[in-house]
Amino acid sequence: MGALEGRIAVITGAGRGIGREHALLFAREGASVVVNDLGGSNTGEGADTGPAHEVVDEIVAAGGKAVANTQNIATWDGAARLVEQAISEFGGLDVVVNNAGILRDGFIAGMEESQWDAVLAVHLKGHFSVLRHAATYWKEQSKAGNQPNAAVINTASGSGLTIPNAGQVNYGAAKAGIAAMTLVAAEELERYGVRVNAIAPIARTRLTLATPGMGALMGEPEEGEVDLFSPANISPLVGYLASEKCPVTGKVFAVQGGAISELGGWHDVKTIETDGLWEIDDIAVRLP
């Protein structure tokens, strides 16, 4: 029996790259998958129904269960329709993998409003919109006495968590926001039987190959060499986090090459205290 037998999952941005590998693995492990992809460019321009349908065709040809969804998850209604499709086509929802992403890199002093808005919309609002509609469904199920055993896996990035990547202020801010959202959601949704975790992956995809320096970091493997930077090497962690027996919640994991690391967040590193009201001079002496 597959590790995800009987699970019903929606995976955003599953037409290409890492999301596509999640969809293929989930289906092989017995899940019914709603394969979402808008099919736009790296920068989020345009749309193409091809990638989502191609992944569905591949899954169905291999004997798996999948349907395509080409909604834009950066919109509230698109996210709602994605969640509704899982319920209407497969009869429920157990797993959300928020993965869709774009890049519009730029330095702060020259960044256009559209670069900021597009990246925040796809990553931060896109993650929240799908989470919001799924959480509404799970809350209703819980209140009706059908306590869910559900999982959300969000996609953060080292950019914004461990690496303050110059030129990615929009992307880093969105990804740090996704990590924070993950921790809040894990606290809030536990009562409805929902676990929430995030990954910060590194893999060879069109997104990373377009980022200066990244291609060299993840060269093509030699003949017979294990391809640790294949996007397929990210999906087993996501499959584990999605599985019914997994107890993990409220965590963020970096996954790259042959390593999986649990990341830790903000914490106090130094405290100064006063008995009276603060004076600028006092802070100036004691804080640096």
Catalytic residues: 171
Q: Is 148 in the site for ligand NAD (CB under 6 A)?
A: no
> Helix (H, G, I), strand (E, B), or coil: what is residue 218?
coil
Measured in whole angstroms, how far is the alpha carbon of residue 219 from the centre of its chain? 24
Q: How far is the CB of 116 from ligand NAD (least distance, A)?
A: 16
Q: Is 72 in the site for ligand NAD (CB under 6 A)?
A: yes
* Alpha-carbon gap, residue 123 to 157, rounded angstroms: 11
Q: Is 203 in the site for ligand NAD (CB under 6 A)?
A: yes
Q: How far is the CB of 111 from ligand NAD (least distance, A)?
A: 18
Q: How far is the CB of 266 from ligand NAD (least distance, A)?
A: 20
Each as own residue / partner, the long-range contacts of residues 44-50 (CB below 8 Å, 24 or more positions apart, any chain) are 44/74, 44/102, 44/104, 44/118, 44/119, 44/122, 47/72, 50/15
How many residues touch ligand NAD under the rule CB under 6 A: the total is: 34
| Nearer of residues 29 and 105 to ligand NAD, judged by Cβ | 105
Q: Is 172 in the site for ligand NAD (CB under 6 A)?
A: no
Please list, in sequence order, all residues whose beta carbon lies within 8 angstroms of the beta carbon of residue 23, skipping any fewer than 6 positions away: 11, 14, 33, 35, 55, 59, 66
> Residue 243 to residues 151, 240, 246: CA-CA distances in angstroms?
8, 5, 6
Which span (56-64, 134-142, 197-205, 271-279) binds ligand NAD, by CB under 6 A? Answer: 197-205
Which span (110-118, 203-211, 243-251, 259-267) binds ligand NAD, by CB under 6 A? Answer: 203-211
Q: Are 116 and 170 in contact (CB under 8 A)?
A: yes
* Alpha-carbon gap, residue 159 to 140, rounded angstroms: 36
Per CB under 6 A, the list member of 157, 182, 243, 249 interacting with ligand NAD is 157
Per CB under 6 A, the list member of 15, 64, 148, 177 interacting with ligand NAD is 15
Which span (200-208, 237-245, 247-255, 276-284) binds ligand NAD, by CB under 6 A? Answer: 200-208
| Nearer of residues 170 and 208 to ligand NAD, judged by Cβ | 208
Integer-rounded Cα Rg, in Å, for the chain is 20
Per CB under 6 A, the list member of 10, 12, 27, 105 interacting with ligand NAD is 12
Least Cα distance to 260 among 274, 248, 268, 271 occurs for 248
Q: Is 235 in the site for ligand NAD (CB under 6 A)?
A: no
Q: Are 179 and 156 in contact (CB under 8 A)?
A: yes
Please list, in sequence order, all residues whose beta carbon lies within 8 angstroms of the beta carbon of residue 282, skipping any fewer than 6 positions away: 274
Per CB under 6 A, the list member of 9, 10, 11, 18 interacting with ligand NAD is 18
Q: What token pair was written down for 150?
A: 């559900």
Residues 50-69, interacting with ligand NAD (CB under 6 A): 51
Q: Which residues bind ligand NAD (CB under 6 A)?
A: 12-13, 15-19, 36-40, 42, 44, 51, 72-74, 99-102, 122, 126, 155, 157, 201-203, 205-208, 231
